[in-house]
Structure 1
């Protein structure tokens, strides 16, 4: 078990470490029905694919795209009810990790690698995931859109790098926004193809893996000679 060519690995959360599809669609549908009933809205629910397209993106922005016809106050009510139901689902044990997530985190930690999470979620959601799936015991630091001084995922990565005291790092995620945040900080990006990116989303990456189980061997190779 040798050293890796990176001092830190930063992970996206939903679709990378967390199998959000295990609870999000059902919870979002339940929340939307509640809100529609409260507001007297008659509208078809989004499809499962449309709900899943929100995963990994800033939720408020996603709801603007999903419900463009609703006034802001109504859209916020729908989003709030969906979030409430998702937290209820997590408390009921609906959240599960992506295959191999805890194993790869433990292995990286055993090799002395600093581990971070950067997620476009709210603090309450992040805290719940860290607690429910015990990810907080495996990672060193985690950032979200409500972290101090953070406006986007690029800011999260910059803050994590500063906290870790290194630029020798790699970003692992499933969405194009993860890659953009990595590039903004001069980091290589490993795309997890088994995540939740829509089929038509163009994702630029340094390398692509089909499962988290492939990550260690990929990092050991230095991403095809790219070392930071």
Structure 2
């Protein structure tokens, strides 16, 4: 179902949709490579930031293959640990930022009675801590991550979420092709976010609606409501 129907739930991607991931990712990324070099697990210069920023929305193992294609599984595992550690440190220091309109918009949707969820390809602790430190935790019914549920694709993650909460109608909101794929495969109305600047324009091909700000999303959802 892809018509512009009134949803009972809204399922959000996290990075590039709600949260400006680069605000904590970039400093954590450089700190990660500094530590990898100290531990003798990596030599040479830190790969360009664009390598990891361009991989946002992918599973972490896919991201590291983009960044360090010749590294071992051991290095990938250690890089995961370090990156998460440093990102959480950045969060605690108040470095992380939401996109404009997210805090107000999420509150409006919650007050209107919509069930709100996050479905992310990130690690469990990352997803939960970003939402907690951003002050959004009270508004979300559940936070689903590939790290927690060990899903191999966002299609599977969203399907699991919908089955668990018996969701019949929802909008899928995200900035990457994996979000479009997950929404379409699960029969959802798909909203593509093009304000992060990290994905390619064609990644949102197939979305039912493309928005340039979070405020646009809230306005579109409210149009479907007769409340």
TM-score between the two structures when normalised by the length of structure 2: 0.89
SS at the partner of 1:93? Answer: coil
CA distance in 2, matches of 1:123, 1:37: 27
Residue 217 of structure 1 corresponds to 219
Residue 78 of structure 1 corresponds to 79
Deviations 1:39-95 (A, max 9, x none): 163222122222211322111211012101122212322332222211211121111
1:154-169 pair list within 5 angstroms: 154-169=155-170
Would you say the 8 A contact 2:52–2:63 is kept in 1?
A: no
Distance 1:201 1:83, change over 3 A: farther
- 2:179 equivalent to 1:178: yes
Would you say the 8 A contact 1:31–1:83 is kept in 2?
A: no
Structure 1 gap segments, 5+ residues each? 223-228
Residue 67 of structure 1 corresponds to 68
Residue 46 of structure 1 corresponds to 47
Would you say the 8 A contact 2:175–2:199 is kept in 1?
A: no
Structure 2 gap segments, 5+ residues each? none
CA distance in 2, matches of 1:149, 1:83: 17
Residue 153 of structure 2 corresponds to 152
Aligned Cα RMSD in Å? 1.9
CA distance in 1, matches of 2:41, 2:17: 37
Residue 225 of structure 1 corresponds to none
Offset of residue 200 of structure 1:
5.8
CA distance in 1, matches of 2:133, 2:122: 16
Would you say the 8 A contact 2:41–2:75 is kept in 1?
A: no
Query: Comparing 83-92 with 68-77, which one deviates more in the overlay?
Result: 68-77
1:23-172 pair list within 5 angstroms: 23-39=24-40, 41-148=42-149, 150-172=151-173
TM-score between the two structures when normalised by the length of structure 1: 0.88
CA distance in 1, matches of 2:151, 2:25: 25
CA distance in 1, matches of 2:80, 2:39: 13
Distance 1:200 1:6, change over 3 A: closer
CA distance in 2, matches of 1:175, 1:139: 21
Deviations 1:116-167 (A, max 9, x none): 1001111111221122112211111110013347432112212222233222
Would you say the 8 A contact 2:117–2:141 is kept in 1?
A: yes
Would you say the 8 A contact 2:20–2:99 is kept in 1?
A: yes
Residue 226 of structure 1 corresponds to none
